[in-house]
């Protein structure tokens, strides 16, 4: 039998990264959660820009890896091999997923959901490996981050809709405004 599942917690507020060794051998899909990537909501985009990623976002839009949607940007799915093996099946998955190494972008460039979501199987495996405290902490952090991002996205969506026409929501000027508005919301949040 292989090593027990290990939970990995890097708590850093909106930049939190939660993971599990089980993800590399996902019981649900050879590409794990990457078969259904989340969209970049407004707060995700602001977080990416806050880490210096405005130009990267513009490049991804130009390359059509990201496409505008009403509440942010959707990640394109591409049908590609699940692993580096030539015999590996092709599967529609996140454009940023590489079959050999997983995610090809830094955590600061990912939608927050990619960083803090752990499935029930990963949490249960961690508990079975004796990581009860870590699993409890991961669940609590997940819930806290969901509440934070839902609240931030609701507030940002109203401001975006009131100020920016859809065709201008992928410009550097938009992204700079978005991060400033997000920072302001975080400063004034209770």
pLDDT in tens, 27-58: 888 888 999 999 999 999 999 999 999 999 99
- What mean pLDDT is predicted for residues 150-163? 96
Is the pTM of the predicted complex or chain greater than 0.85?
Answer: yes
Residue 190 lies in a domain: no
Query: Structurally, how many domains does the chain consist of?
Result: 1
155 belongs to a structural domain: yes
| Residue 114 domain boundaries | 7-185
Residue 34 lies in a domain: yes
Residue 163 dihedral angles phi and psi, to the nearest 5°: -115, -30
182: its two tokens: 């997000």
**Domain-located, residue 48:** yes
- How do residues 94-143 score in pLDDT, each as one tens digit? 999 987 778 999 999 999 999 999 999 999 999 999 999 999 999 999 99
Does any domain span residue 2?
Answer: no
**Is position 93 within any domain?**
yes
- Is 118 contained in some domain? yes
């Amino acid at each position: 039998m292989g090593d027990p599942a290990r939970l990995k917690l890097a708590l850093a507020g909106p930049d939190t990264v939660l993971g599990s060794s089980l993800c590399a051998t996902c019981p649900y899909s050879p590409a794990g959660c990457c078969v259904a990537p989340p969209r970049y909501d407004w707060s995700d985009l602001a977080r990416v820009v806050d880490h210096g990623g405005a130009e990267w976002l513009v490049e991804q839009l130009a390359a059509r890896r990201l496409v505008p949607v009403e509440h942010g940007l959707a990640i394109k799915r591409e049908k590609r091999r699940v692993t580096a093996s030539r015999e590996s099946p092709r599967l529609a998955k996140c454009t940023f997923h590489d079959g050999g190494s997983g995610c090809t972008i830094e955590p600061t460039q990912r939608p927050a959901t990619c960083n803090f979501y752990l499935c029930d199987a990963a949490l249960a495996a961690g508990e079975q490996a004796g990581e009860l405290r870590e699993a409890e902490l991961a669940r609590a952090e997940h819930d806290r981050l969901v509440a934070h991002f839902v609240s931030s996205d609701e507030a940002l969506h109203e401001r975006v809709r009131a100020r920016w026409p859809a065709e201008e929501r992928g410009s550097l000027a938009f992204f700079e405004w978005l991060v400033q508005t997000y920072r302001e919301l975080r400063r004034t949040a209770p």
